[in-house]
Structure 1
Amino acid sequence: MDHNLSEGSSSDPASAGTPSRYESQKRRDWNTFGQFLRNQRPPVPLPQCNSNHVLEFLRYLDQFGKTKVHMQGCMFYGQPEPPAPCTCPLRQAWGSLDALIGRLRAAYEEHGGSPETNPFASGAIRIYLREVKECQAKARGIPYKKKKKKGGKNDNDESSSSSMPFS
């Protein structure tokens, strides 16, 4: 593996001139993730990072979220605009996590990581993001329809969503 995976790589394209907002955020995200790995017991060297470390990082970030996600037992579960406050937790919004993973995926490769070993591009991360998206959509009462797989017949759903081009 390339040894360029350090946080202070001099091949940073944003170092010439003023970095864009995206480049600045990507650098902050990369540094935050690097700090997260260094704070693990024992610390995790960046080249040994895998998708499990990324999942732990995403779960860790939830404590700083600002999006109310109603629990299934909450009387406001499934309501897009609840009429009163409740004790359900604040979480990171799916869109924020998705954007974060995109920036970290790019930063990993810019710092010398190979696309084939990129832990931010793993199937486990895609599954996690999809589950967060579905969970948050249900909690807010936004209907989420999965695309039907061709060839398979779903038994009891007469109002098929197969005519919908995307979910």
Structure 2
Amino acid sequence: MSFDRGKEPADHGSSGDPPPPSPSRYESQKRRDWNTFGQYLRNQRPPVHISHCNSNHVLEFLRYLDQFGKTKVHLQGCIFYGQPEPPAPCTCPLRQAWGSLDALIGRLRAAYEENGGSPESNPFASSTIRVYLREVKDCQAKARGIPYKKKKKKTTSMGGEDSSSTVHFS
């Protein structure tokens, strides 16, 4: 009689049902973000119910999160303003990186609708939030000396080949 060491038996229990798949990293993060935002609203004085949440609450939440940021954002008066790799430390504040905020808003926007909110009333999808994120992006790019340029889409010629082998920036 031989035994297969290190192998699990095919049947893990009497139910015969496979265990439910664990949520993806994205789904787990989206749930954590949604719960964090809900907790933030409950901690407001007076507490705010999600159905009464608007873009101002979202903006306040994003500003609140800055205190936990890890990205150095130089102020205009700083001698390192505009330098991507300053040679010495400074007293400028740490903030949430634009990319992190953008991803967070994307997850919260999806979670809002998955939790019964209508797309028309989604405070995470408002123009106010888009403008705020654009301003954060521009401010951080200038402060760190990193230009964010919008890439133009490649065009194709009649022969189906790219008309240019380089990517153009505006």
Rounded Cα–Cα distance in structure 2 between residues aligned with 1:144 and 1:22: 26
Partner of 1:82: 86
- Whether 1:58 aligns to 2:44 is no
Amino acid at match of 2:73: V
| Partner residue, 1:8 | none
What do residues 95-117 of structure 1 show as CA deviations (whole Å, max 9, x unaligned)? 00000000000000000100000
Q: TM-score, normalised by structure 2?
A: 0.76
Alpha-carbon distance in structure 2 between the residues aligned to 1:73 and 1:142? 18
- The one-letter code of the counterpart of 1:138 is K
| 1:138 and 2:142 are equivalent in the alignment | yes
Partners of 1:138 and 1:144 within 8 A in 2 = no
In 1, distance between residues paired with 2:99 and 2:147? 17
Runs of 4+ that moved beyond 4 A: 144-147, 164-167
Which residues of 2 match residues 1-167 of structure 1 at below 5 A? 16-144=20-148
The normalised TM-score by structure 1 is 0.77
Q: How far apart are residue 142 of structure 1 and its match?
A: 1.9
Partner of 2:154: none
Unaligned runs of 5+ in 2: 1-19, 152-166
Q: How many residues align?
A: 136
Cα 1:45/1:74, change in 2 over 3 Å: same
Q: CA RMSD for the aligned pairs? A: 1.7
Change (3 A) 1:21 1:68: same
**Equivalent position amino acid for 2:90 in 1:** C
Deviation for aligned residue 1:143? 3.0
Does the 8 A contact of 1:70 with 1:140 survive in 2?
Answer: yes
**One-letter amino acid of the counterpart of residue 116, structure 1:** E
SS state at 1:105 partner: helix
SS at match of 2:47: coil
CA distance in 2, matches of 1:25, 1:58: 16
Q: Shift in Å at residue 145 of structure 1?
A: 5.9
Letter matched to residue 135 of structure 2? E
Point out the structure with max Rg over C-alpha: 2
Distance change in 2, residues 1:132/1:20 (3 Å): same
Q: Which runs of 5+ in 1 are unaligned?
A: 1-15, 148-163
Question: C-alpha deviations, 1:74-101, integer Å up to 9, x for none?
Answer: 0000001000000000000000000000
Distance 1:28 1:146 in 2: 31
Change (3 A) 1:166 1:130: farther
Shift of 1:17: 2.4
Higher relative contact order (CA 8 A, sep 6+): 1
Counterpart Cα distance in 1 of 2:109 and 2:91? 34
